Amino acid sequence: MPDMPQNRDKNLRQATISVLVENEAGVLARVIGLFSGRGYNIDSLTVAPVDVTGRQSRINLVTTGTEMVIEQIKAQLDRLVPVYRVSDLSTGPHISRELALIKVIGTGVERAEALRLADAFRARVIDATTESFVFELTGATDKLDAFLALMRPLGLAEVSRTGVAAIARGVGLI
C-alpha cells in the first residue's frame, strides 16, 4: 500500500442528502445541532412530514465539504436514533427543486421588463399592484439564482425561498 497522507483531499463538493426520520419532537434540532456542533455547512434545509400517518418526515439537506466530511455527515446522521435512512442523492441521477416567491417593485419600462423576463422563466404572477409584482418560480437552485440576478436591477425588493426538495430519478427509493 502507498503512503497515505491524512486529509490530503481538499476538493470541496456539494452534496444533496435526504434523510427519512421519525416525526418526533426535537428531531430537527438534533440534525441542526449535529451540523452546528461539528462545524458542517448547511446550504439549504427543508423538512416536512411525508407519509400518510404523519409519523415520518423527510429532511432534504444541501451541504458542502470534502469527500471525507460528506461521508462523516452521512455517518453522523445515520447514527441519530430517530433516523431511518440517509441517502446521498448527489451520487446518482436526481432532481432538485425549490420554490421562490419574489417581490419586484417598480414602474414603467423596468416593470414591463420584469414581467417579460418572468414569462421567459415561466414564473407565475400571483400578486400584482400598479407598482409591484409577486412572482412564484419553481426550479433548480441555479435557475432561481439566475432569475433573481436578472430581477435585481429591475426592482427586486424581497425574496422568500423554500430550500431544496430532492428525489432520485427512476424506480430507486430513499
Partner 1 sequence: MTEHMTGAEVLLQALKEQGVEVIFGYPGGAVLPIYDALFQQDDIRHILVRHEQAAVHAAEGYARSTGKVGVVLVTSGPGATNAVTGLCDALLDSIPVVCFSGQVPTHLIGNDAFQEADTTGITRQATKHNYLVRKGEDLARVVHEAFQVARSGRPGPVLVDLPKDIMIGKAPYQPAPNTPHRSYRPRTEPDADLVAQAVHLMKRAKKPLFYTGGGVINAGPEASHLLRELVHLSGFPITNTLMGLGSYPGNDPQFIGMLGMHGTYEANLAMHDCDLMINIGARFDDRVTGRINAFSPHSTKIHVDIDPSNINKNVKVDLPIVGDAAKTLGAMLAAWRADSHEPNGEALARWWTQIGKWRDVDCLSYEQDPSPAAIIKPQYAIQRLYEATRAFEASTGRETYITTEVGQHQMWAAQYFRFDQPNRWMTSGGLGTMGYGLPAAQGVQVAHPDALVIDIAGEASILMNIQEMGTLCQYRLPVKVFILNNQYMGMVRQWQDLLHGGRRSESYSAALPDFVKLAESFHAVGLRATNVGELDDVIAQMIASPKAVIADIMVDQAENCFPMIPSGAAHNEMIMGPGKEARVARVTDEGRMLV
Residues that bind partner 1 (CB under 8 A): 1, 3-7, 21-22, 25-26, 29-30, 33, 37, 68, 71-72, 75-76, 78-84
Q: How far is the CB of 46 from partner 1 (least distance, A)?
A: 20
Nearer to partner 1 among residue 74 and residue 143 (C-beta): 74
Nearer to partner 1 among residue 30 and residue 161 (C-beta): 30
Q: How far apart are CA 114 and CA 156, in angstroms?
A: 9
Q: How far is the CB of 23 from partner 1 (least distance, A)?
A: 11
Q: How far is the CB of 96 from partner 1 (least distance, A)?
A: 25
Q: How far apart are CA 168 and CA 174, in angstroms?
A: 8
Contact, 114 vs 106, CB < 8 A?
A: yes
Nearer to partner 1 among residue 115 and residue 174 (C-beta): 174
Question: What kind and span of H or E run contains 77?
Answer: helix 67-78
Q: How far is the CB of 28 from partner 1 (least distance, A)?
A: 11
